[in-house]
Amino acid sequence: MTIHPLLPDLAGPDLAIAWAPLEALSGDSHPDEWEDIASAAPSRQKEFVAGRQLARALSDQLGLPPAPLRRAVDRSPVWPSDRTGSLSHCDTLCAAAVGKRSAIQSVGVDVESIGRVEPKLWPTLFTEREADYLSALAPEAIALEATLFFSAKESFYKCQYPLTQEWVGFQDVEVARTDKALLTVAPTNGAAQAWHAAPIHAVEMSESHVATVMLLPA
């Protein structure tokens, strides 16, 4: 299995982040994992298996013992007690982050195909301020930035959910650009919490895909 480091400057002995093509992540699931996905559509089974294969490879990198990664009723991964993590899939790629729970409180990762966030979706996905910012960009930059803003909200949701167990809508947070590599997120209502404070790291993986990662140290 060939996997590719993602944002290697963030990784270390307590955190591993990587991506790989879905086709490179086929294989057998742990029987307990397969029980969670046996009745799903083949495409969903493929994504599920790919995410678990990648998470297993990253856990091995960190020296963590083998353990099944079950699925909760809400379909979120149930990480073993010694680790935390996040999974993401898009059209052809899978990304994952795994951290030792003693050092990483929570992490969110998201991978997206550039261009899927069309302007007709903006009223649902973005606040008025976000939409104004995107509309003011050069035409050739809009698709990339809109995809990154959407991805940032996905990474934020995945990062905060294990801590809050609360659903967060796209209009409940607002993303802003800090610099070429970083985004921030803030609540649109109420006071900011600890899980709003961490920066969101953005990376252009290729001409067709981007990824974001949000990390909360323990």
Give me the architecture of the 110-217 domain, per CATH: Alpha-Beta Complex (3.90)
Which residue is associated with the tokens 């979120």? 76
Residue type, 146: A
H/E segment holding residue 122? helix 122-125
Show the tokens assigned to 111: 């991978």
Q: Are strands 209-217 and 104-113 parallel, antiparallel or unpaired?
A: antiparallel
Amino acid residing at 14? D
Task: Give 166-180 pLDDT, tens digit per residue.
Answer: 999 999 999 999 999
For residue 197, the model assigns a pLDDT of 94
Confirm whether 4-102 and 110-217 share one CATH topology.
yes
Residue 16: which residues within 8 A CB-CB, separation 6 or more? 58, 59, 61, 62, 97, 98, 99
Flag whether pLDDT at 1 surpasses 80: no
The percent of residues in the chain predicted with pLDDT above 70, rounded, is 100
For residue 21, pLDDT over 80 is answered with yes
Identify the band that residue 30 occupies on the pLDDT scale cut at 50, 70 and 90. Answer: confident
**Lowest-pLDDT choice from 19-23, 35-39, 50-54:** 35-39
Provide the CATH number for the domain formed by 4-102 in this structure. 3.90.470.20
pLDDT digits (tens, 9 = 90+) for 130-144: 999 999 999 999 999
Q: What confidence tier does 28 reach under pLDDT thresholds 50, 70, 90?
A: confident
What does the pLDDT read at residue 61?
A: 97
85 pLDDT band, cuts 50/70/90, is very high
Environment class of 184 (CB within 10 Å of its CB; exposed 0-12, middle 13-18, buried 19+)? middle
The full set of domain ranges for the chain reads 4-102, 110-217
- Indicate the pLDDT class of residue 29, thresholds 50, 70 and 90: confident
Integer Cα distance of 170 and 155 in angstroms: 12
